[in-house]
Amino acid sequence: MIKTTSGYHWLTVARRWSEIPAPMGPWPSEMKIYQKLAKKYLKGIKKPKILILGATPQMRDIAHAFRNAEVTCVDIDVNMLFAMSSLLKNPQNADSEIWVKSSWITVPLKENYYNLILGEAVLGNVPFMLWTKFLQHLQDVLRHNGYFVSRVVVTDLGNWHGKNLDEVFSYASEKKLNFIELYFLLFYRIFGSQKRKMSNLDMYKTIKKYYNKKKQRYVLENRYVEGLLNKIAKYLPASPFQWSNSPQAFSEKYLKRYFKIIAKEFGGGESQFSSAYHPIYLLKRK
Amino acid sequence: MSVLTHLQGFLKIQWGKMGPPLVPSEGECRITKGFIKKGRPRILILGSTPQFRDLAHSLGAQVTCIDMNLDMLTSMVELMKYSRKASQEAWIRANWLQAPLKENYWDYVMGDWVISNIPLKIQPLFFKKISLLLRPGGFFVTRHSLYSGNIITFLGAIDNFLNKKFDISHVVMPAAHLSFNPKTYLSETTECRRMAQNIINDLIKNASDKKLKIKYKEILKLIHYYLPSGMTWTYTPTEVLEKMWRPYFRLTKIAITQDHLLPAACPIYFLKKH
């Protein structure tokens, strides 16, 4: 078994990651949008230079579909780069990639260099206070006519929040949501639709408090929801890491400072709840 | 506590046993450290050399390491005094010449025996690339490996080892230069290993003392352990290198130390970007 410096088996990490469904990663319909946009805007470039934010295998597969592409992946955790490589359509493609273990905000890459940056739901990983620095840095490394394609997870989901947690669970049970969809719904129900820092730890605390107070037994009476909650606990443990998600208008305000929004597309079909709400932006460097 | 793969574990053990001149000595690190200004300099390290990473961390530098082999970057962490700081380093798995690194950015680029890894024809390009990365006035600090045959022969090194004047690292270096070609400056390790084996086999044949025969066998085993086959190194002399770096750098200093026994074969160049 191959092990890494962090002391965990990266093949196990890869297996666990592959078991986590969309919307943690892109839905197939969203993948088609990424592919379409990348194909359209890299047309005619003989040796496209593509920067991948993170180690997401789907994004790396899109990049490797272009012959002669120079693919650079940046992740703060080198183990993720190793782990996710085994999930590539052709894992050998990882050998030709340039790997960078660094923060996205300080990564010392060449300026005005990349034709395309792909980042799957990356904005929410960056603390709000660093959004300006982050987007500025992406702008710097992009060529003047380069593009940044990214799905942005937003918090304004219309009526899907539900009035209370019971309603959220009823909805999840009725629509047979997967555990990540329920996770997203719980987040938005608990933290609201405003710009907020959200952590799994706070979410678990709120759920516990709610049920202790109301002495509700709903979850235990609904096997389906109980199963989903068990999976959330298994795959997304109570960590203090804070996601920085915001309403669409707030994210766009920041994106527009450094990029021109060329297109905004939504996936659809797989899930009424999530794919229709998180836009994939095609952004051109200003 | 970190967990390494078998390969990483082997690299760690193999490198951990190496001493100067195969790795930078304490004196060489002290000279280099004294040259670098404090105040969070941006240092790019070519390769994974733990001594240089420690040196950079001891100065509070922002450290970026670039190596073709991520296993080297990972395994060398355990040989670092400042191993906890490794998480703050940026690592890049890429070719030194092709890596899309930020230009006009680094205060210092450092590398141990890096020039000998680059084919002679590409060495001028290598200097150009380093100069592009450095900010104006920045320094390229590199320890270089020169051909040691003029200083000590392989047989002389073996004698010194048997007389306990040299450790094995001082024998491996002349062994790595056995196939040195003075016209091309190349030395092929596979050929070096073969030549070392022939020389030692002759010594064994002619030795009458059983203990001495065992000693020779030990030396050969260690040479095979430390000297990987299939590599070609370029030991370009200083005067040839000077012509290559002149368009981009000015040599401000050449330093050598006396804390190992082959200092003249390992000068440290301090090159200032024009």
What pLDDT digit, counting tens, does each position of B7-18 carry? 777 777 888 888
Residues of B in contact with A101 (CB under 8 A): 89-92
DSSP secondary structure code for residue A236 in this structure: S
What is the rounded distance in angstroms from the CA atom of residue B23 to the CA atom of residue B175? 16
Give the pair of three-digit tokens for residue A202: 């706070």
Does residue A4 belong to the interface with chain B, where contact is any CB pair within 8 Å? yes
Q: Determine the residue of chain A that is closest to B75 in CA distance.
A: A5
Note every long-range contact of B114-119, with CB atoms under 8 Å and residues 24 or more positions apart, other chains counting.
B114/B46, B114/B47, B114/B142, B115/B142, B115/B144, B115/B234, B115/B236, B115/B241, B116/B144, B116/B145, B116/B233, B116/B234, B116/B235, B116/B236, B117/B233, B117/B234, B118/B234, B119/B232, B119/B234
Give the pair of three-digit tokens for residue A44: 């005619």
Q: Determine the residue of chain A that is closest to B72 in CA distance.
A: A5
User: Per mean pLDDT, which range of A29-43, A95-109, A261-275, B251-265 is the poorest?
Assistant: A261-275
User: What pLDDT shows up at residue A109?
Assistant: 98
CA dihedral B245, B228, A8, A180 (to 10 degrees): 60
E strands along chain A, which residues?
Answer: 49-53, 70-75, 98-101, 114-120, 142-151, 196-199, 242-245, 259-265, 280-285
Rounded to the nearest integer, the mean pLDDT of chain A is 87
pLDDT 10s per residue in chain B (274 long)?
355 666 777 777 888 888 899 999 999 999 999 999 888 999 999 999 999 999 999 999 999 999 999 889 999 999 999 999 999 999 999 999 999 999 999 999 999 999 999 999 999 999 999 999 999 999 999 999 999 888 889 999 999 999 988 889 999 999 999 999 999 999 999 999 999 999 999 999 999 899 999 999 999 999 999 998 999 999 999 999 999 999 999 999 999 998 888 889 999 999 999 9
Location of each CATH 3.40.50.150 domain in chain A = 8-154+245-285
Residue A143, Cβ density class (10 Å: 0-12 exposed, 13-18 middle, ≥19 buried): middle
What is the rounded distance in angstroms from the CA atom of residue B222 to the CA atom of residue B216? 10
**How many residues make up chain A in this entry?**
286
Closest CA to B219 of B169, B265, B180: B169
Q: Which among B3, B5, B101 has the least Cβ separation from residue A108?
A: B101
Beta carbons of B64 and A108 less than 8 Å apart: yes
Rounded to the nearest integer, the mean pLDDT of chain B is 93
The residues near A198 (Cβ < 8 Å, ≥ 6 apart) are: A187, A190, A191, A242, A243, A245
Buried/exposed B247-258: b ≥16 CB within 10 Å, e otherwise: ebbeeeeebbbe
User: What pLDDT shows up at residue A218?
Assistant: 56
The residues near A107 (Cβ < 8 Å, ≥ 6 apart) are: A74, A100, A137, A141, B90
Q: What is the reported pTM?
A: 0.91
User: What pLDDT shows up at residue A270?
Assistant: 72
What is the rounded distance in angstroms from the CA atom of residue A214 to the CA atom of residue A216? 5
List the 105-134 stretch of A: residues with Cβ below 8 A of B: 106-111, 113-114
Does residue A99 belong to the interface with chain B, where contact is any CB pair within 8 Å? yes
The residues near B26 (Cβ < 8 Å, ≥ 6 apart) are: B259
Minimal CA separation from A82 to chain B, in Å = 10
User: Per mean pLDDT, which range of A132-146, A180-194, B39-53 is the poorest?
Assistant: A180-194
User: Does domain A8-154+245-285 match CATH 3.40.50.150?
Assistant: yes
Residue type, A46: K
Q: How far is CA B166 from CA B21, B149, B209, B215, B256, in A?
A: 11, 16, 21, 14, 18
Beta carbons of B93 and A102 less than 8 Å apart: no
- Per-residue pLDDT tens for A217-250? 555 567 888 888 888 888 888 888 888 888 899 9
- Checking if the pLDDT of A25 tops 90, the result is no
Minimal CA separation from B55 to chain A, in Å = 20
Does residue B101 belong to the interface with chain A, where contact is any CB pair within 8 Å? yes
ipTM: 0.91
Residues of B in contact with A109 (CB under 8 A): 100-102
User: What pLDDT shows up at residue A7?
Assistant: 45
The DSSP code sequence of A78-92 is: HHHHHHHHTTSSSGG
What is the rounded distance in angstroms from the CA atom of residue B179 to the CA atom of residue B199? 13
Beta carbons of B3 and A7 less than 8 Å apart: yes
Residues of B in contact with A99 (CB under 8 A): 70, 91-94
